[in-house]
Each structure stands twice: as C-alpha cells, then as structure tokens.
C-alpha cells in the first residue's frame, strides 16, 4: 500500500474501497472481503444507506481500529451547523465507532448556500477530536476559494468525479497549490466506457494487467487518491493488485491525452437536490 500525508500530518492509504450503490446487507460482505484483501481505507456516506452494514464488517474484522481509515459524509438535507452535528452523531452510531478518520461535505449545493456553516460544524468536530480530518466532495474552485477565505481549517481533500475522460486538470492544479489532495470517485468511469478505450487496452496488454488496473495505476502516479467499488470478490482483489508495476512517462502522457472533460455525474453547481 502507498500512503499519502494529508495537510494536517495524518497519513491516509492512497487506495481505498468505496461502497456507493452497495446495498446495506451486501456492504458487510464486500467490506469484509476488502479488509481481508488488504484495504484499510473504507469510504461510505449517510446517503448510501449502508453505514450499518459497513459498521458490522468493521466490528467483525481483526484489523485494529488504529490501522483503519474510515470516511463518511454529511448529506445535502442535513447541511447547516446544528443539522450537521446531529447527522454526524447518527452516522457514528450506525458505524458503531467512537470517531471517524475523515468527514466530508457531500455536495456544496450552492443554491442553498449552507456549505460554510456546514463546514464550520466539521471544524468543531475536528477540534473536538471526534473527526481526525475534514474535507469536501464535489467542490469547484469557486467553492474552495470561499471555504479557504471564510473557514479556519483547510480541507485535506476534495473528492470528485475523476477518470481519464474527466481529468479535472484545472481543479487538480488549484488543489495542489493549496495542499489539498484530489480523491477520485468513479475512478474507472461510470459504465466503464474508458476501460474499452484502445489506448487503455493497448497499455494493459503490454503490462499483462487489466484495463482497470492500468487506470488505477494512472491515478496513483498522478498523486490522486482512489476508491474503486466492487461487490465481486475477484475484482476487489484485482483492483488492489496495482503496486507491482508502473506506467512509463510516455504511457502516463498517452492516458492524459484521453481527457474529454466529460462528466457522467451531475455538475456541482447544478446538484441542488435535498
């Protein structure tokens, strides 16, 4: 496993396991398999409705709590200072934990203009030691600029849709300048279209690796944190098996050239669902 050091000095595995769109009863088995495979970073959220299932796997694992890195998120309908503190307590109870390693705002929902108050609640949780690190998801440069100007604790990362067809170059440049890591959700592209790309398949064949492993390696070598999701045991193992090879600079550049700035998910400025 490769680890990165966040801007508050905490270490985080660069490869984690996501459980978006995983049913609660499936989450227990999937997370158990991931932990058995070697993942120690698990990413969930209130809106995924599987925190209980994740918590059950965490309770049953032999991996010590201090070796785990658990992330969850506050949903749009729970934003605001007091609402966020309440939502955090509820997430913690479902997970069966005393603290989480990372707590994130799920979307900025700019139409409601409550992400600053929400983030100030995250700062309180951080200062109280109930959260070891805080950050955001799906924030554009404009949202991050306001956050940095109005809040005290800079986010450690920004979790966004990111894959070879949506490289997020401008956002990555801004985040790097402010010591904020980019974490990729849907790192393999929703629907897997990028895995069928001729360039990805050619590189995969030359490396004796799968297209998914090549894309994950591209993320890792670009200093991006990745959280691939799967409920299939063989794919959970495959996605973890990315530390025994490297892409050349030429191969990285080839994959960089695939960028289309094409989203599958919502644009953050338009995602105002509560």
Dump the DSSP string for 220-263.
Answer: HHTT-EE--B-S-HHHHHHHH--SS----HHHHHHHHTT-----
Q: Residue holding tokens 């309908």?
A: 77
Closest CA to 180 of 125, 253, 102: 102
Beta bridge partners of 4: 12
Q: Is 115 a catalytic residue?
A: no
Answer for the pair 264, 220: CB distance below 8 angstroms, yes or no.
Answer: no
- Nearest C-alpha neighbor of 125 from the set 97, 102, 148: 102
Rounded Cα distance between 112 and 206, Å, is 49
Yes or no: say if 18 and 218 are a contact pair by the CB < 8 Å rule.
Answer: no
Out of 39, 48, 115, 126, the active site residue is: 48
List the structure tokens of 92: 């913690």
Q: Would the CA dihedral through 234, 237, 239, 244 be positive or negative? A: negative
d(CA 21, CA 200): 26
> Alpha carbon of 75 to those of 5, 43, 202: distances in Å?
26, 14, 40
User: Distance between CA 272 and CA 107 in Å, rounded?
Assistant: 8
Neighbours of 85 (CB within 10 A): 18
Nearest to 92 by CA among 52, 64, 60: 52
Active site residues: 48
């Amino acid at each position: 496993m490769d680890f990165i050091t966040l801007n508050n000095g905490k270490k985080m595995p660069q490869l984690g396991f996501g459980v978006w769109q995983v049913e609660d009863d499936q989450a227990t088995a999937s997370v158990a398999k991931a932990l058995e495979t070697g993942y120690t970073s698990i990413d969930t959220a209130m809106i995924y409705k599987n925190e209980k299932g994740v918590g059950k796997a965490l309770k049953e694992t032999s991996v010590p709590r201090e070796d785990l890195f658990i992330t969850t998120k506050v949903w749009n309908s729970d934003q605001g200072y007091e609402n966020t503190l309440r939502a955090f307590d509820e997430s913690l109870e479902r997970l069966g934990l005393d603290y989480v390693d990372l707590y994130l705002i799920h979307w900025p929902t700019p139409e409601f203009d409550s992400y600053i108050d929400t983030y100030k609640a995250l700062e309180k949780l951080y200062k109280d030691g109930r959260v070891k690190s805080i950050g955001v998801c799906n924030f554009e440069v404009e949202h991050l600029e306001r956050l940095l100007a109005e809040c005290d604790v800079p986010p450690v990362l920004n979790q966004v849709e990111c894959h070879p067809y949506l490289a997020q170059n401008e956002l990555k440049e801004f985040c790097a300048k402010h010591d904020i890591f980019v974490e990729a959700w849907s790192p393999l592209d929703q629907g897997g279209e990028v895995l069928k790309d001729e360039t990805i398949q050619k590189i995969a064949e030359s490396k004796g690796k799968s297209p998914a492993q090549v894309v994950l390696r591209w993320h890792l070598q670009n200093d991006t944190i990745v959280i691939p999701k799967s409920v299939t045991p063989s794919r959970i193992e495959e996605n973890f098996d990315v530390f025994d090879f490297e892409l050349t600079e030429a191969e990285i550049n080839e994959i960089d050239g695939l960028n289309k700035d094409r989203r599958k998910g919502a644009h953050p400025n338009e995602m105002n669902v509560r």
